[in-house]
Structure 1
Amino acid sequence: MTELSKARRAAVTALLAAGLALVTAQAAHADLAAHADTSGHADTSAQGAAPAQGDPEPVPAADLARAHSAVQDPTVLDKVGHFFARKGVPPTRQLTIGAAEEAKAAQDEAPRLAGDTVPVYTLDAGFVAGTPGAPVAKVEFTASKVVAADGQTASVWTVRQGDAWRVVNIASGGDESDYAAKAADGGGTAFREPQVNAWYVLRDGRVLPLDDEARRSVGAGGVSLAAYQKLVHQRYGDKLPGSTYDREGRGGGYRLDAAAEAGPGAAAQAAPQAAADHDSAIPAVTAAAALGATALAAAGVGAGAVLRRKRAIR
């Protein structure tokens, strides 16, 4: 695991746009998924042929362009500048510099977008349950990589709300864009299993690892899509909505035991965050919980909340 990954998981600050409560992210996510899935009404220029079995649904290029434009808003870039100026320190904690110095540092960071806005996919509850035809993952939000003058990077997350795109999160590093690019280079789609903080690529009917957590989950050579479905069903099938686990309100990360770290055939232990509604992709509010996010008061950020993302329980 790289030092950047450790720092990212140890102290990542999330910015919710003013007036956007966390619960609204679920509705916004459902809107995004519905927009991508509706034929005849959405721009399908990014879709091409129908997805192969298990493949996530592509997001229309026009939607990605609108999300990209939302991040280019001067107000958003100013917030990202302050994020860089604070070096990841949440707004609820005092800095050794004053507000004027912070404002100047934010301006000096001159944040700029780098690369394309990408869709971010998360393990789908329907796939976990074994629903026929369910994709391995569904789009949860879009991410845009922003770079500072001093080399810092951040991932700005956006979701669709009606006809508008809203920024809901700023996270240090650029995992979302970096893994998407790595997957696309070989002709595949990146997706995340948040319960174990693992990134994979679905390519030619196989689920292949993109990070250390994924290698511990499925092995260095990956597994077939069918084998991966059995694996996640074993892990989370009894913890879906409506299950005893769900009704008891249990949650947290998911621990892979020593045997499981060697490959996908071993048993897993502890409790993952419950997967989401079968009728849509896992909503943003669930993903935040799976990441171990804790709501904090947002000082100087507007009416939203600030989240700190922690590494999944090991």
Structure 2
Amino acid sequence: MSDTSGTKKSSKRAASRSSRLSLVIAVSASALLSVAGPAHATPTKDPLPADIPDYQAALDAVKSTEVRNTVCNFLRTPVPTDSADGPVQTIPETAEPCQGLPAFTIKDPVALNEITPEFVAGTAKPLPTDAIKLTQLVSSLSATVNGRNATVMLAPTQGGGWHLAAVRDGDHDATYASKATLGTLVFTEPQIRGWYQLKLTTVEPLNDQARQGLGGQASVSLSDYQKLVKARYADKLPGSEYDTTGYSSGYSLQRTQDDTPSTTLLLAGGCGTALALAGGAALLHRRRRPSTR
């Protein structure tokens, strides 16, 4: 009887030790993962974002000499401070645009998402796939250059790929767009320059403009947010009376899928200064058209 009892106790002790050992292994593995991250998370082995089509083309674009030279030209050109009626100035061409500038790199591009016209009109359901659309990619610089930062904006090229659409002063767009995490979306309401984070079907503001857009609320459902933007813009969509009578260019996405690259540069001054690709001569000026966004 005593032998049987002793055997049972020994078995229980062995099982207990095995259980504790398994727990220690599990905790240790968890700690290692939290410190080291996933095994594939090395810079050279990161998978390309599945939600961004032709992402390798976008990477190639921002790492290209042409885009870097464009950014250097932008950083070399003083931001215009004259009035809207000021004289037009040409952007000087330099054989080595980046020569003499502090070292910098252009970060990997991230998605810039916007609300869709169908969502604004109320014809699309309040679902993330119908409410939010990828319109551009944005990249910021790794460091400030002479006290300035810049955002590189890529637009989709017809037939696939991405091309340089503009270089904008500051890095706000890229900073907010980078706040997206696994399971969340970040998007903008460009008319008020509001930035939001979408968690499942809950919309939360990321900046003051977005908080004002939600009427000071900390969060709203995607359905309630649709009601807000519908009230703000549904009567101002392209083709509406507001649009056709000349008050506005109507509501539209930032860029269309048919954008094509060009080789000339245009620098627009004022708030939101941008060096954009445009036809004709390379000019430095301030835009006079009223803001519609």
Identity of aligned residues (%): 33
How big is the shift at 1:155? 0.7
How big is the shift at 1:151? 5.0
Equivalent residue number for residue 228 of structure 2 = 231
> Match for 2:191 among 191, 195, 210?
195
1:231-289 CA-to-partner distances (Å, cap 9, x unmatched) read 011111122233222222321xxxxxxxxxxxxxxxxxxxxx6223xxxxx2527xxxx
1:155-191 CA-to-partner distances (Å, cap 9, x unmatched) read 111112234422110001112221122232x742111
Please state if 1:75 is matched with 2:59.
Answer: no
> Match for 1:183 among 163, 166, 180?
180
How big is the shift at 1:69? 1.3
> Match for 1:46 among 37, 45, 49?
49
How big is the shift at 1:143? 1.0
Equivalent residue number for residue 140 of structure 1 = 135
Unpaired segments ≥5 residues, structure 2: 1-46, 82-86, 257-269
Cα distance change on mapping 1:79 and 1:111 into 2, 3 Å: farther
Amino acid at match of 2:255: A
Amino acid at match of 1:245: Y
Cα distance change on mapping 1:295 and 1:190 into 2, 3 Å: closer
What is the distance in 1 between the residues matched to 2:230 and 2:188?
A: 15
1:195-235 CA-to-partner distances (Å, cap 9, x unmatched) read 11211111131111111111111125021111100001111
Amino acid at match of 1:275: Y
Higher relative contact order (CA 8 A, sep 6+): 1
Q: How do residues 113-262 of structure 1 correspond to structure 2 at under 5 angstroms?
A: 113-133=105-125, 135-146=130-141, 147-150=143-146, 152-161=148-157, 162-184=159-181, 187-218=183-214, 219-251=216-248
Q: Secondary structure at the match of 2:168?
A: strand
Equivalent residue number for residue 37 of structure 2 = none
Cα distance change on mapping 1:135 and 1:235 into 2, 3 Å: same
TM, length-normalised to structure 2: 0.62
Contact 1:108 1:149 in 2 (8 A): no
Contact 1:92 1:297 in 2 (8 A): no
Contact 1:77 1:111 in 2 (8 A): no
Unpaired segments ≥5 residues, structure 1: 1-43, 48-57, 252-272, 277-281, 286-290
Contact 2:152 2:168 in 1 (8 A): yes
What is the distance in 2 between the residues matched to 1:196 and 1:168?
A: 21
How big is the shift at 1:94? 7.5
Q: Secondary structure at the match of 1:159?
A: strand
Amino acid at match of 2:227: K
Contact 1:294 1:307 in 2 (8 A): no
Contact 2:193 2:209 in 1 (8 A): yes
Q: Secondary structure at the match of 1:115?
A: coil
Worse overlay, 239-248 or 115-124: 239-248
How big is the shift at 1:83? 1.2
TM, length-normalised to structure 1: 0.58
Equivalent residue number for residue 284 of structure 1 = 255
1:11-34 CA-to-partner distances (Å, cap 9, x unmatched) read xxxxxxxxxxxxxxxxxxxxxxxx
What is the distance in 1 between the residues matched to 2:164 and 2:103?
A: 15
Q: Secondary structure at the match of 2:229?
A: helix
Q: Which protein shows a greater Rg?
A: 2
Amino acid at match of 1:78: N
